[in-house]
Amino acid sequence: MSSQGNKSTQTTRCGYVSIIGHPNVGKSTLLNLLVGYKISAIANKPQTTRTNLRGIVTEDNYQLIITDTPGIHQRSGNALNQVLNKEAIASLEQADAVVMMVEAGRWTGEDDLVVLRLKEVGCPVFLLVNKIDTVKPKEKLLAYLQEVSSKRKFKEIFPISATKQINTDEFLKKLVGYLPEGEFIFPEDYITDQPIKSICSELIREQLVLYLHQEIPYTTAVDIELFEETDKLTTINATIWVGKKGQKGIVIGKKGVTLKRIGSSARIALEEFLDTKVMLKLWVKVEENWQNDPRHLSELGIVSGR
């Protein structure tokens, strides 16, 4: 990176960018790719992300502050889902640019809802058509790109694959050009503005989504109750909250097998992120209908007010 002296002789750009789209289009995968670290859960399930998680990309002449939003979805029956939609929409308020992501070859009613939410946005809006590696033959992709170009006046449309890193560098270069000139907001070594405990909670919950099926993962939450660091070991105690008594046994599994597998996989993910040995202990507790309890949502860091 440049020294501070060099930085004063060149123009620097710094700005906020929100990634928005319906659930499971690859927003978290893109964020992790751009940041260079896994700071956002990327399980291949809807609603893995529950808060506006910011990743920070700093290079010699720019700082990009990227917000990975919860997927906008049409079902908003409980307080949790309403909060998720509000979180995603709130991220647009201070954005210098917005990136709408869709899945190549697929356009849903939730995509229409995202376009509707973008109606009053005055900053540049890019469309990222993700997962292009899954579309064959290529003629289908060209037809799809023509179709989506009529949905809204986008600044530019980029066909990409976040997992295969296809066209992502080109997109990043173009995006940086739309950032306002200004000094960096965060120190150069920051990769996120989120507390470490919050990211650890996300990484544990990702394993719940991966190991459990149907609706159970989406009625769970993870609360880090103890986080202690020494030179050689980080000790983490976490509670997994479920919304019904019957779900507790499913999370634990027969003779505790499921919980052990979740814990083992989560520990590996935590060690990779923290770059240290981790001792992880998990408990499962029940709070009936916690998704509709504003107090519990607030305690878990899922905040509804802005």
- pLDDT digit string, tens, across residues 253-288: 999 999 999 999 999 999 998 999 999 999 999 887
Beta bridge partners, 227, equal 236
How high is the pLDDT of residue 92? 75
48-57, 234-243, 259-268: least confident range? 48-57
Question: Which residues are within 8 A (CB) of 256 and not within 5 positions of it... i.e. 6 or more apart?
Answer: none
Structure tokens at 117: 């939410």
Task: Indicate the burial class of 153 (C-beta count within 10 angstroms; 0-12, 13-18, 19 or more).
Answer: exposed
For residue 84, pLDDT beyond 60: no
Q: Residue 126's closest CA among 52, 177, 87, 50?
A: 177
Within the chain, where are the H helices?
4-7, 27-35, 79-90, 109-117, 138-148, 168-176, 196-211, 245-252, 257-274, 294-299
The domain 196-299 is classified under which CATH number: 3.30.300.20, 3.40.50.300, 3.90.100.10, 3.40.190.10? 3.30.300.20
Structure tokens at 73: 């979805």
CATH 3.40.50.300 domain residues, the chain? 4-176
For residue 101, pLDDT beyond 90: yes
Which position has the higher pLDDT, 123 or 38? 123
CATH 3.30.300.20 domain residues, the chain? 196-299
What CATH architecture does domain 4-176 belong to?
A: 3-Layer(aba) Sandwich (3.40)
pTM: 0.73
